Chains A and B, each alone.
Chain A
Amino acid sequence: MSQPDELQTIMVIAELFNGAVRPTTYELLGFAQKLQQQRPARIQILVLGEDIESVALALAQSTGEDVLGINAPRLSQYNGQVYQVVLHDVLNELPPDVICAAHSSQGWDFGPGLAARLKAACITGVNRVSAKDDKICFSRDIYGGKVSADIISTSKTTLVTVQPGSFRWSPGSHQEPGTVNIISLPVEPQASRTLSTHRHQASDLDLTQAKVIVSAGRGIGDQENLDLVHQLAAAIPQAVVCGSRPIIDNGWLSYDRQVGVTGATVSPDLYLACGISGAAQHVSGMQGAALVVSINTDPMAAIFNQSDICIVEDLTAFIPTLLAKLSEAGKIK
């Protein structure tokens, strides 16, 4: 880390999917703004891909930040090896104090390897930044979200992957677009080739539009208990059943019903979490819910920190009781 009175540089690695800027890029700018509040810093955006000029210009226009565009021919799809080689070549010359990328299938793929090549520290899944004396603390969740850890980098350069949904960008009042620099770096991947990027299975289910989501986690225990979750969803108007990753991995629900970083990001009026532990990977996908109600036997479950209403109960006892009460109250026809 530089001395406190020096101007820091923060390099935001924009995230592209099919040539378009992903919303995580703006969250990275929100993260960079938070860092700026701790210590004066200059933000620069780096965007890497094929025919990158128009994307770079649009980013400079929409954000007011300076953009470095790297044209890499034939990089129409993400390739981890090309990212690491090109980003190393460019960043090693600078090098920025903080490099940030999304904690996503791209960021966690190229981030640690890039850090190793730059001899930089790497901190993944960061959800908060704060200052302590003259040091910056990067916070991340451990033990399934039961503990938050403040981590200090002892390296001059620190690469951070930022947990989706943790930071919000304020556009501010920039009048002028940022400057745009375009360089070309042709790199042929040697030992790793990306063949295709494709949808795994087609689905008509759009969880982003769901009004009510009843979600099952590993804590439901046996597959039979999923019936209870289905019954509960049937008793609540417009409710859809979803699950966290372990439920999908077990094949108990189809993949298009997964909520979380590798599934859907949802914002229903009600999110009813049944037996969900609350690990960051899941929480990132449900933070936008208006009301979160959680049922879990473990009073220390991390999901309760993300909940409006917390119910410490075994759901095999609680859901039947709730269904009976709903029926009594005439809520179920």
Chain B
Amino acid sequence: MNILVCVKQVPEAQAQVHIDDDGRWVTLGAGTEFRMNRFDECAVEAAVQIKEKVADTHIHILTIGPQRAETVIRRSVGMGADDGTHMVTSDDGFVDPDTLATWIAARPQAQSADLILCGAMSEDLMQGQVGPLLAAKLDLPSATSVIDIAFKPEAKSIQVDRELEGGYRQTQVLKLPALVTIQTGINQPRYPALSKLLSANRLSLEVLHTDQEEQPDTLLVMDKLMPPRKMRDAVFLEGATQDKAEQLITILSDRSLLS
């Protein structure tokens, strides 16, 4: 079975995010650390767990991003994936999710995959679009927010549980080939073994450049970025830790929340 896992490198949640002067995009603070998107890490783990059960399973990793993003492929290989493709972008700018899905859909590893796994969303942009768009472009059945996955080889299908609101789940059967997007909580991603990480670092990856790919008409324009609106008063308590604690007790007492 061929599995393709699409992964993305994202900045740490604590990263300083500065809006550029023209308001079109952001610059991250110096020294920002990057790592694999947590949803994608769960997708890689889900793929590796299938590989451990199903003989002759091959896991290919694909990422689109600047040069530094290749570390997420190597980490995935360290977790148990086999090889990877890095589609290198020239910068960190916004790319329309429809364009990303177009680029991935053109890859032979996507067209020949029995199963494509993506994270349910990226932690930085939170669009949740590339997975379902890719499924539509490849005309694959798909399921999002998957929290449980079981391979049914005799039926050439997978059975998945999707996470719904309010503690509900929905069980679906998808005929392979299929695409699912993975919700966090489905598993606890393993740490790459040191020995595997060392060989992953020596592995030669397929490297492509996105400026040589098809450039479809963009459907979205990022017009202006701004700090989010304050939805409440956002009064910052001042002073030493003790002073803030006292102020908070007064505020809560005045509202009879402590009695």
A residues adjacent to B (C-beta < 8 A): 17, 77-81, 84, 104-105, 108-117, 120-125, 128, 132, 135, 137, 140-155, 190-201, 203, 212, 218, 236-237, 245-246, 248-249, 255-256, 261-264, 269-270, 277, 279-281, 287, 291-293, 298-300, 302, 304-313, 317-318, 321-322, 324-326, 329, 331
Q: Mark B129-159, 1 if CB is under 8 A from A, else 0.
A: 1011101110011111100000000000001
CB distance from B231 to the nearest CB of A (A): 5
Docked complex Cα distance between A280 and B227 (Å)? 14
Query: Which listed residue (B162, B227, B249) contacts A326, Cβ 8 A?
Result: B249
B244 touches A291 (CB 8 A): no
Docked complex Cα distance between A95 and B241 (Å)? 58
Query: Which listed residue (A110, A146, A191, A317) contacts B141, Cβ 8 A?
Result: A191
Question: Given that A147-B26, A237-B258 are contacting pairs, would A196 and B171 also be in contact in the complex, using a CB cutoff of 8 Å?
Answer: yes
Which 9 interchain pairs have the tightest Cβ spacing?
A: A116-B136, A121-B219, A191-B141, A249-B185, A192-B141, A112-B132, A113-B136, A191-B175, A195-B171
Question: Can you report 16 residue pairs joining A to B where beta carbons are below 8 Å apart?
Answer: A109-B143, A112-B131, A114-B136, A122-B133, A143-B124, A144-B123, A146-B228, A196-B171, A199-B169, A212-B257, A246-B184, A269-B257, A281-B126, A306-B231, A308-B232, A322-B245
Docked complex Cα distance between A196 and B162 (Å)? 10
Interface residues of B in 60-100 (CB under 8 A from A): 97-98
B259 contacts which chain A residues (CB < 8 A)? 237, 331
Docked complex Cα distance between A116 and B142 (Å)? 14
B143 touches A150 (CB 8 A): no
A120 contacts which chain B residues (CB < 8 A)? 219
Query: Which listed residue (A105, A141, A192) contacts B174, Cβ 8 A?
Result: A192
Docked complex Cα distance between A114 and B137 (Å)? 11
State the total of A-B contacts with C-beta under 8 angstroms.
274
| Chain-A contact segment, one of B12-20, B51-59, B206-214 | B12-20
Asked if B165 CB lies within 8 Å of chain A CBs, one says: yes
B234 contacts which chain A residues (CB < 8 A)? 304-305, 307-308, 310
Docked complex Cα distance between A190 and B255 (Å)? 58
Docked complex Cα distance between A67 and B167 (Å)? 30
A137 touches B223 (CB 8 A): yes
B230 contacts which chain A residues (CB < 8 A)? 305
CB distance from B103 to the nearest CB of A (A): 14
Question: Given that A113-B132, A196-B171 are contacting pairs, would A124 and B225 also be in contact in the complex, using a CB cutoff of 8 Å?
Answer: no
Q: What would 19 more interface pairs be, CB under 8 Å, given A150-B225, A153-B219, A198-B169?
A: A80-B144, A105-B170, A112-B128, A112-B131, A113-B135, A115-B133, A128-B229, A143-B17, A152-B223, A200-B168, A201-B167, A237-B257, A248-B185, A291-B257, A293-B252, A305-B232, A306-B232, A307-B232, A317-B241
B142 contacts which chain A residues (CB < 8 A)? 80-81, 109, 113, 192
Asked if B194 CB lies within 8 Å of chain A CBs, one says: no
A191 contacts which chain B residues (CB < 8 A)? 140-141, 174-175, 178
B residues adjacent to A (C-beta < 8 A): 11, 13-17, 19, 26, 97-98, 101, 123-129, 131-133, 135-137, 140-145, 159, 162-175, 178, 183-185, 217-237, 241-242, 244-246, 248-249, 251-253, 255, 257-259
Question: Given that A113-B136, A212-B257 are contacting pairs, would A151 and B223 also be in contact in the complex, using a CB cutoff of 8 Å?
Answer: yes
CB distance from B224 to the nearest CB of A (A): 4
Docked complex Cα distance between A173 and B112 (Å)? 56
Question: Given that A132-B223, A197-B168, A199-B167 are contacting pairs, would A142 and B124 also be in contact in the complex, using a CB cutoff of 8 Å?
Answer: yes
Question: Given that A113-B132, A125-B127, A147-B227 are contacting pairs, would A193 and B173 also be in contact in the complex, using a CB cutoff of 8 Å?
Answer: yes
CB distance from A322 to the nearest CB of B (A): 4
A153 touches B132 (CB 8 A): no
B128 touches A124 (CB 8 A): yes
Docked complex Cα distance between A295 and B254 (Å)? 20
Question: Given that A245-B185, A262-B165, A318-B244 are contacting pairs, would A147 and B19 also be in contact in the complex, using a CB cutoff of 8 Å?
Answer: yes
CB distance from A36 to the nearest CB of B (A): 21
A125 touches B126 (CB 8 A): yes
Question: Given that A197-B164, A245-B184 are contacting pairs, would A78 and B170 also be in contact in the complex, using a CB cutoff of 8 Å?
Answer: yes
